[in-house]
Amino acid sequence: MPDAPPSGRLFPCPNCGAKVEFDPGSRALKCPYCGHSSAIARTAAADLAVEERDYEEYLAREEDGGGAVIAGRSSETRCTGCGAMVLLEDKVATEDCPFCGTHLENQPEAAQRMIPPESLAPFALDLRAARESFNKWLVSLWFAPTELKTVANLGQLTGVYVPYWTYDAMTETRYRGQRGDDYQDTETYTDRDAQGNTVTRTRTVTRTRWSSAAGEVEHFFDDVLVCGSKSVPGKLVAWLEPWDLRKLEGFRPEFLSGFKTERYAVGLGEGFERSKELMEPTIIRLIQGDIGGDHQRIDAKKTRYLAVTFKHLLLPVWVAHYRYHDRLFQILINGRTGRLAGERPWSAWKIIRLVLLVLVVALVVGLVVSMAQR
């Protein structure tokens, strides 16, 4: 006989009253107890009035403590293991941290006001598909400890909505630098001929003529994506890209049902500073193209960021974690595409065994060749 369904939570089943969960496969709210499902209509982000917000205006609001809480996520608790701020579903007292597995023992507190998300990309991969992606990655590992298959507990594979920012900005960059143009020149040098006599020869060499350069370049940046989480390594988050932001949908709390949600740890202002770092390579390329020539040197530059706007959105990530020899390893799976980024341990013994095997084979081959030459 199944457990009695919990009651009183967000989105109760209209059939039995249990808490329903979002099912990526059917895009429906599904009851895990009686199987009743209610489809969620596909709604474009624009249909729910999602728009770019003025950066300066909302930065002032955030600094003043303005904002709101996410519907159904009115309490939060900080993980003592990794520092993640997990937004708890209403009437859920405690749970495990999805990023490191630490039990969230802290007494939940009322969620602080924040800039609420206005769009998201719903999960498209269900738990089964995420596990398949995980297993393929596990099989492909070279020199992984044999114990890894046992240690990597698939029961810890958790769906999490991770906070992100996107920034739009018009940039104007003034620069000073130098332009290098190559030209061919003939130079003489001394050498010795076959008889050892000193002779004078000539050769063509490439030289660079440098000249001063200055100017201004402009560029509009659209949807520069910055992760708002500090709970996962940045290099793993980057491997989950690309995200198709054209398929964002307007925020609806139904999509969060049954999944964890993290509060952003990277604030609006800090996120914009990170976006500037992502814009920098493009600005440098534009300056180099504007200088022209065969080589470019940038001595000084200053960028103005105009008409800055942003969006706060949630992106779906399946998270797995495991410990091996007291070290935490994390695996992230893009909840839309199945793209996986993971950390893994290496088996020193397997590597040593392979090296020894190669040396033994090389020694045997050497002995065989030596005996054949006698």
Residues 330, 233 contacting (CB under 8 angstroms): yes
Q: Is residue 189 assigned to a domain? A: no
Whether residues 148 and 272 share a domain: the answer is yes
Domain hosting 218: range is 42-174+214-343
Whether residues 94 and 117 share a domain: the answer is yes
Phi, psi of 78 (to 5 degrees): -95, 135
For the chain, percent of residues with pLDDT exceeding 70: 81
- Under the banding of pLDDT at 50, 70 and 90, the label for residue 348 is low
302-328 pLDDT tens trace: 999 999 999 999 999 999 887 777 777
Strands in 37-39's sheet, in edge-to-edge order, are 21-23, 28-30, 37-39
- Under the banding of pLDDT at 50, 70 and 90, the label for residue 234 is confident
- Under the banding of pLDDT at 50, 70 and 90, the label for residue 134 is confident
Whether residues 159 and 86 share a domain: the answer is yes
Whether residues 291 and 143 share a domain: the answer is yes
Q: Is residue 75 assigned to a domain? A: yes
Whether residues 92 and 143 share a domain: the answer is yes
pLDDT of residue 20: 83
4-31 pLDDT tens trace: 333 334 567 777 777 788 888 888 888 8
Length of the chain: 374
DSSP conformation class of 142: S
The residue-averaged pLDDT of 30-45 equals 74
User: Which of 110-124, 324-338, 342-356 has the lowest average pLDDT?
Assistant: 342-356
Query: Average per-residue pLDDT in the chain?
Result: 83
Whether residues 359 and 224 share a domain: the answer is no
Distance between CA atoms of residues 153 and 149, nearest Å: 8
> Between 63 and 80, whose confidence is greater?
80
Residue whose pair of structure tokens reads 């030289």 in the numeric block: 207
pTM of the model as a whole: 0.81
pLDDT of residue 4: 39
Whether residues 126 and 152 share a domain: the answer is yes
**Strongest mean pLDDT among 48-52, 200-204, 254-258, 267-271:** 267-271
Whether residues 133 and 152 share a domain: the answer is yes
Q: Tell me the CA end-to-end span of the chain in Å, nearest whole number.
A: 81
pLDDT of residue 122: 94
Whether residues 119 and 133 share a domain: the answer is yes
Whether residues 338 and 353 share a domain: the answer is no
Distance between CA atoms of residues 276 and 305, nearest Å: 9
Whether residues 231 and 118 share a domain: the answer is yes
Whether residues 265 and 354 share a domain: the answer is no
157-197 pLDDT tens trace: 889 999 999 999 999 999 999 999 999 999 898 888 888 88
Phi, psi of 82 (to 5 degrees): -120, -5
pLDDT of residue 119: 92
Q: At what angle do helices 55-63 and 268-291 cross, to 10 degrees?
A: 150
Which string of DSSP letters, residue by residue, matches 332-344?
EEETTT--EEE--
Residue whose pair of structure tokens reads 């457990």 in the numeric block: 3
DSSP conformation class of 137: H
> Between 144 and 222, whose confidence is greater?
222
Handedness of CA 58, 59, 63, 69 (dihedral sign): positive
